[in-house]
Structure 1
Amino acid sequence: MYEKENSLISNYSSIIVGYALQDFIVADGEVCGAIKNKPLQADNIRVIIKTSGFRDIFFNEAVFCADSGMIVETGEESYETAPGETVVFNPDTEDFNEGRIKLIPKSGEIQFQSVNRGIGTPSYGGTIEVSLYDEGIVVVNEVGIEDYLKKVVPSEMPSGFNLEALKCQAVCARSYAYTELSNNYYSAYGAHIDDSIQFQVYNNSQRAESTDTAVDETAGQVLSYNGEVVKTYYYSTSCGSTTDVTLWGNTTENYPYFVAECVGGVDRGLTLTVESEFNTFIKGENEADYDYDCTLYRWSMEESVKEISEGFARSTGNNVGNITDIEVLERVNGGAAVKVKVTGDKGETVIDSESAIRAAFGNANVDMNTKSGTTKYANLPSTFCVFEKVTEGKKLTGFKITGGGYGHGIGMSQNAANKMAESMTYAQILEFFYRGTTLTLISSQDNA
């Protein structure tokens, strides 16, 4: 793979599916190289549609219809369906002998009747491609990025949020999508991303006028740093502090725009990597924190020794017996725990990642106390938390977990952005959460 501008040789995986950015070199009837001669101007995105519950990318059967009817392209042939006519594909469908099958609505959108989402049966603009693999049928929706965002923003942020917050979400979602285009995660299936939380949730909630407006009024805008588009991580709720990419084992030098800082309240003067000081922080509250009124700004749960031990073994596959101690060995900037030592009467082990810690100690059968009542979570909402022993006399009966926030804590807190939007513009909010970045137009690479 040759880059025309600088003649660098790179791996074929740098070819972005769905875009004709290169000319291919053919010898003896086979492709043997490529010359990339065009810059990426992102306009469309190719999204794998997962099964109901976002469980898998492979379908046993795929059923479609369109109110206007569809054009079905199979190889060099095509045919039309009547308005509302259903088309069914399964592994025995003969049209798969010609390769991928493409569905084009005559107008409007195509309903995918094999999937159930929060909105019920979803429909998709753009085109649908249906392909057969050994594991099953894969469905890819190719759609314009701006139209894609109009179904992402309401699926990722409540449409009733303030417009400036929704604009933040639109810019973040666009920036994230743009960076994922070139990552080639699903290139083997002719797609860029899927429609689940693994990337960005797409078409799970109804489009709304407010979120459409947010996308339209920020059209083409992304966040960039030193000329490169930023992967704009975001999450639901902060505990009054953000963290940085050291949470995931990276370095702040690689991602200087993610910083650990106070989210709204006055700096408490605490070093949150120190256990005792973080303990003071997480057990206190500050009304000046932007997330203060949110349900999961602070939360706590108490698990018996039996509940936490069985849940830990089930989640981790590591049976240490009855747990006798839980010790946080390491916190990163902002206070999130990333390494926890668990001791039981049959052994001990260390859990050393944010996602593993959240999975190991959550319990869907135990009440969690929040600012608006009780709920249940299979995973801990965050690792901004402390673990304390609960005793009766000298007997250990369980553990209390006290924490705050919902999500990883890197980048923008969506609930904080909504509060900030009462007095700040979306540009100011984005600058707060992504330090040193610039609003840029993708099409022109000029500052917006």
Structure 2
Amino acid sequence: MSTDTKIIQDWLKKHQISEVEVLVPDMTGNARGKFIPAHQFLTMGKPKLPESILVQSVTGEYCEDHWELVEPTDADMLLEPDPSAMRLVPWAREPTAQIIHDCYTMTGEAHPLSCRNVLRKVLDLYAEDGLVPVIAPEVEFYLVARNLDPDYVLEPPSGRSGRRETSRLSYSIDAVAEFEDFVEDMYDYAEAQELAVDTLIHENGAAQMEINFVHGDAMSLADQVFSFKRTVRETAHKHGVYATFMAKPMQNDAGSALHIHQSIVRADTGENIFADAEGRHTEAFLSYIAGLQHYTPELISFYAPNVNSYRRLAPDIAAPINVNWGVGNRTTAFRVPESSPAATRVENRFPGADANPYLAIAATLASGLLGMRRGLQPSAPHQGTANDDEVEVARSLEEALRNLGNSPEVREVFGGLFLKAYAAVKRDEFEKFNRVISSWEREHLLLQV
């Protein structure tokens, strides 16, 4: 029996688990998989799933290029449970475990279409250089009243006072207290899963909240964000409301982001390579920033993966529209918080809450690594409001996909097949969305053109 198998077996026995959720994050960042009774999970060998689930669109459909991306026979892939990604399912009625699995081909190779494998490849590149990324995500989301008709606009839910929020209540303690029962259950669920959630604040939008995670290992935090999204949705259902991670669910309110704080340390000493002992920014730091600036226009679709994502990336103080960086400047895409040398980091403010956490983290870390390896140089730190400058990133999903994989170094990191598959799936989503005639078009074009 392997060490990992023994760890999993002992853990399932300790928690008297009766059922196991075998989970695989798909390209959209959603959970795919199957339920298996615990006793069968321990004796059946490696689970299998069709590899085609990795390239399903957000609507659950397959793109036109589907059979060019996977085997025409719809072959299986082998799943390997990761004991570091093993958690309880606290909302389940019976003792249930959720275990994230890695995907392998039937010949035992890491599956090239797995987003978790993409992130692992980026982390391996850092390991080659004797470096380890440290990240800390910030996840924003909205609570909304139950909405059974997609033609109706979303509304904030009623809080314990019985009233809906109607004004901007950033950092309001009392506004969070309106949803105290939801917050307490969310924290209890997070604690049961050992999610490293930290600070909770009320954000700018009505019933919009933000959770900060404690900094740590990149793969672990990607897994935790993946699990946290499920947790928040389940908690909301328990309280008769919805929780949404759409990038821009409300027309007149701010969008929701997945800001990623990141620093790089030496594997042997733990020393932060972004600052020297006096707190001065190092050449490695400047090249990392330059990498973010250089590769973000090419990788923007990993930060903004849906048609709705680009409604958030508009000239507005809450989201970036260009690749400026600055110290303590929240209007820039890449913000460097004031901090001690050991805590020197950069915050990537591009990713939306709707991003696949594995791909968003992979994209930002790959950009920085390529910047350091190529010795790129950044622009001068921005002074003033960056949103007064020109738009420098795509304004639609289709435009973003045309830029994806333009450089050979990005294709090398992410793999040509993965980039082709991602673009095919997302382009299919864009084309389906583009066929929908909106109420704005009927209102302004029906009789006026």
- Which is greater in Rg? 1
Q: Which has the higher contact order (CA 8 A, sep 6+)?
A: 2
> Between Structure 1 and Structure 2, which shows a larger proportion of strand residues?
1
> Between Structure 1 and Structure 2, which shows a larger proportion of helix residues?
2
Q: TM-score, normalised by structure 2?
A: 0.25
Q: TM-score, normalised by structure 1?
A: 0.25
